[in-house]
């Protein structure tokens, strides 16, 4: 079985808001079988009541709040991660038609993961593969083909852009792997996460592929391993897993994410 790792997470967000705006935060590590929340506190400075709602697929939670002129939040937690190592090569393929209904959206193209455009590439370059061996080959291909470079992409960058620019940050690695997997008939979703090795320290984005009856966590950047990742939330792409969505205009003042392995 996998080894356990305890992570200390410390986040501070400080934004300016034009007038008033509803703000949706998604920054709390999710309580799940393979990641226990030992302690946690979320503080939001706001005159309005804070309201938590469930995250996508029932994983984690989102927190609604309201900013006026300024929006400041702090999150601290200790999470114990205990997760088996993923061995992609061993998982057999499941044909799309045998998948459960809640997986259907993860076979479909989405805004930043236009997987339908990649069917030709996956078919030609990875033609004989399926299931776990395909997932392993795609993961390695993404890792080898991209260069990790801060500032090389923006919030509008799609997997199609990344496929040509051959560079990006964690978000782009996640989008491209998810797009290629879906194009190969494997359900895939994006995951917002915390991990200690992310450089520069920031929110992290990884992927989950549905193989052999479960979601398999993969970091195509190889900055994190599946044993030191604490999931925050999941979704179709960056739209769903954004750490903050402002229903109005906001400006970054300061943002800090610190993830430290304990003992």
* CB of 155 closer than 8 Å to CB of 169: no
In this complex, which beta carbon is closest to a second copy, that of residue 83 or of residue 236?
A: 236
Q: Are strands 167-168 and 147-148 parallel, antiparallel or unpaired?
A: parallel
Q: Report the interface residues with a second copy, using CB under 8 A.
A: 22-24, 48, 51, 53-56, 61-62, 64-66, 95-102, 104-105, 107-111, 114, 117-121, 123-124, 145, 147, 154, 156, 160-161, 163-167, 185, 239-240, 245, 247
CB of 49 to a second copy, least distance (A): 9
Residue 32 or 107: which CB sits closer to a second copy? 107
Identity of the residue, 229 or 250, whose beta carbon is nearer to a second copy in the bound complex: 250
Shortest Cβ distance from residue 229 to a second copy (Å)?
23
**Helix, strand, or coil (residue 54):** strand
Is residue 194 a contact partner of residue 7, using CB atoms and an 8 Å limit? yes
Identify which of residues 76 and 111 has a Cβ nearer to a second copy in the complex.
111
What string of DSSP letters covers 174-199?
HHHHHHHHHHTT--EEEEEEE-TT-S
Radius of gyration of the chain (CA): 18
152 C-beta neighbours (distance < 10 Å), count: 17
CB of 191 to a second copy, least distance (A): 16
| CB of 7 vs a second copy, minimal distance in Å | 26
- Residue with the two structure tokens 């705006």: 21
Residue 5 CB, nearest approach to a second copy (Å)? 29
CB-CB contact of 76 with 259 (8 Å): no
């Amino acid at each position: 079985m996998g080894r356990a790792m305890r992570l200390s997470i410390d986040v501070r967000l400080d934004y300016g808001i034009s007038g008033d705006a509803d703000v949706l935060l998604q920054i709390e590590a999710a309580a799940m079988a393979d990641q226990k929340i030992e302690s946690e506190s979320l503080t939001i400075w706001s005159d309005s009541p804070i309201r938590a709602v469930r995250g996508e697929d029932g994983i984690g939670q989102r927190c609604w709040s309201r900013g006026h002129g300024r929006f400041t939040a702090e999150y601290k937690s200790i999470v114990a991660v205990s997760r088996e190592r993923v061995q992609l090569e061993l998982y057999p393929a499941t044909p799309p038609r045998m998948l459960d209904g809640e997986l259907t959206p993860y076979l479909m193209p989405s805004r930043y993961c236009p997987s339908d455009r990649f069917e030709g590439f996956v078919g030609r370059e990875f033609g004989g593969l399926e299931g776990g061996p395909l997932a392993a080959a795609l993961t390695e291909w993404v890792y080898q083909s991209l260069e990790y470079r801060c500032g090389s992409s923006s919030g509008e960058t799609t997997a199609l852009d990344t496929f040509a620019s051959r560079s990006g940050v964690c978000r782009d690695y996640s989008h491209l792997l998810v797009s290629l997997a879906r194009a190969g008939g494997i359900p895939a979703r994006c995951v917002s996460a915390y991990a200690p090795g992310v450089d520069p320290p920031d929110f992290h984005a990884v992927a989950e592929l549905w193989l052999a009856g479960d979601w398999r966590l993969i970091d195509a950047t190889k900055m994190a391993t599946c044993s030191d990742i604490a999931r925050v939330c999941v979704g179709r792409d960056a739209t769903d897993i954004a750490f903050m969505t402002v229903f109005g205009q906001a400006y970054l003042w300061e943002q800090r994410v610190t993830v430290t392995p304990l003992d």
